[in-house]
Structure 1
Amino acid sequence: MKTVNSLFLLLLFSVTLSAQQTQKDSTQIYYLIGNDSILRTSLELDEVVLTGVKKDKDDEERKKFLLLQRRVLKVYPYAKTTADNLIMLQKNMAKLKSEKEKKRYYKIVENYLENEFEGQLKKLSRKEGQILVKLIYRQTGKTTYELIKELKSGFKAYVSNNTAKMFDISLKEQYNPFDVTEDFLIESILIIAFNESRLVKQPPANDINYAELSAVWKEKIEKSKAIKAAREANSSN
């Protein structure tokens, strides 16, 4: 994964380090896992309760969820750092007058972050890399492709995206927890982690209304249950 992770260094090279206070969120959210199986219609975000599961299928789904959880907890700090420091970079760059000063400052940051993060990023798997792309979009409001284009060049973004595709990663991937099941699960994992202070909360670039998100997935779950019930009724006739 050395080649792919070097793409993310392009983003981290564009930033300087900062920190943010830990916050908590007690929002409720609806939870869906798998195609039909439901762990619980609603849950308090300070705990995960597994109830009414079919052992074989849902144990497998639970394992998949826990794997996703581990991946999200691992890569979220990189996405947060990217967003935090992208803002810092823009502020510092605005204070510099000449292009020469900006290039010198950029090079200092680049060298520092290469030593700070390169070893850690090389350890990411392909799936963790794709989740990182999604979370970078969540925290910055821009795709990794767009950021590389702005910070480097359109050509660099094009080459980077084509290279990432060789590892089944799209740098143009967005984050949409309202429509994509995996993104919804990622958002659920983040909310729980923020509430438990396992991750430092950073607001997403585009506000996510958790009550609305919860309502959307409640409707999806109810529709899924109705469709399944109708199919079972038809098959028994």
Structure 2
Amino acid sequence: MKFYRLFFLSIVMITAGSAKAQTSGGGVIYPVLGKNDTIRVAGTNDNGVMIPWISLQEVVISATRLFKSPEDRAAYNRLRYNVMKVMPYALFAKRRYEQLEKDLALATDKKSQKILVKQCDQEIKDMFNREIKELTISQGQILTKLIDREVGRTTYEIVKETKGGVTAFLYQSVARVVGHNLKSKYNPSEERDIEAIILSSGFYQ
């Protein structure tokens, strides 16, 4: 009787050892694959156990906005229109200055760097002459904040770094005359409506 018990226990141990050998390699335990598991996915080693995972797109869930009055709704709609109007310009500035920083890092001398900065500045001016000069004061104020949001630096700081402090001061002086402030920074907690509009706009999809 003891012989049969010992024999049965040996079979169980051998079977378990065989199953572990099939699902592990190099001390790492891998999940047992089914016949329909044909899609390759990423995996993370969690204390010797390989955990499969896949990356999912971010899903933003927002509640329906309720307004206290028709005036509040109209004000929000104007804000949304203005944000949607200037957001492409902020994204353009972000892409252009990111490219400028990459180009400057590869430039071999100051002369080449000056040429790159001049080219970037000219592209920004061309865009200003074509479209941005038609913006309203409110749209211009939003744009300066969104540039800080996207680039991580205020418009004043960008001009100062690329054109120098004197030019930045002159640009700021002109901007203040028409109600703009190139030093405007973006604070998501203070600009909750703008942030909500941007996140639901589809610009990052």
The TM-score range, normalised by the shorter chain, is 0.5 to 0.7
Instruction: Give the structure with higher Rg (CA).
Output: 2
CA RMSD in angstroms, aligned pairs only: 2.2
**Equivalent position of 1:138 in the other structure:** 149
Q: What TM-score results when the alignment is normalised by the length of structure 2?
A: 0.66
**Equivalent position of 1:125 in the other structure:** 136
Matched, 1:153 2:186: no
Deviation per residue, 1:130-154 (Å, 9 max, x gap): 1001001101111111111111111
Deviation per residue, 1:150-184 (Å, 9 max, x gap): 11111111121121111111111111121x2xx11
Percent identity between the two aligned chains? 31
Alpha-carbon spacing, 1:108–1:143, altered in 2? closer, same or farther (3 Å): closer
Where 1:60 maps in the other structure, the secondary structure is helix
Q: What TM-score results when the alignment is normalised by the length of structure 1?
A: 0.57
Deviation per residue, 1:161-213 (Å, 9 max, x gap): 121111111111111121x2xx110000011112xxxx245xxxxxxxxxxxx
Q: Which runs of at least 4 in structure 1 moved beyond 6 Å after TM superposition?
A: none
Alpha-carbon spacing, 1:112–1:27, altered in 2? closer, same or farther (3 Å): closer
Structure with the larger RCO, 1 or 2 (CA within 8 Å, 6+ apart): 1
**Equivalent position of 1:84 in the other structure:** 95
Matched, 1:185 2:196: no
- Contact 1:145/1:171 (<8 A) preserved: yes
Counterpart among 49, 59, 64 of residue 26 in structure 1: 59
Gaps of 5+ in 2: 1-56
Separation in 2, partners of 1:68, 1:119? 23
Where 1:135 maps in the other structure, the secondary structure is helix
Matched, 1:163 2:147: no
Alpha-carbon spacing, 1:25–1:59, altered in 2? closer, same or farther (3 Å): farther
**Equivalent position of 1:215 in the other structure:** none
Separation in 2, partners of 1:25, 1:168? 37
Separation in 2, partners of 1:98, 1:119? 32
- Contact 1:83/1:136 (<8 A) preserved: yes
Separation in 1, partners of 2:119, 2:171? 23
Alpha-carbon spacing, 1:153–1:174, altered in 2? closer, same or farther (3 Å): same
Counterpart among 112, 128, 143 of residue 101 in structure 1: 112
Matched, 1:175 2:186: yes
Aligned length: 150
- The offset of 1:50, in angstroms, is 4.9
Deviation per residue, 1:89-126 (Å, 9 max, x gap): 11112212122222233334444454455211111111
The code of the aligned residue for 1:161 comes to: Q
Where 2:179 maps in the other structure, the secondary structure is coil
- Contact 1:134/1:175 (<8 A) preserved: yes
- Contact 1:25/1:191 (<8 A) preserved: no
The code of the aligned residue for 1:191 comes to: L
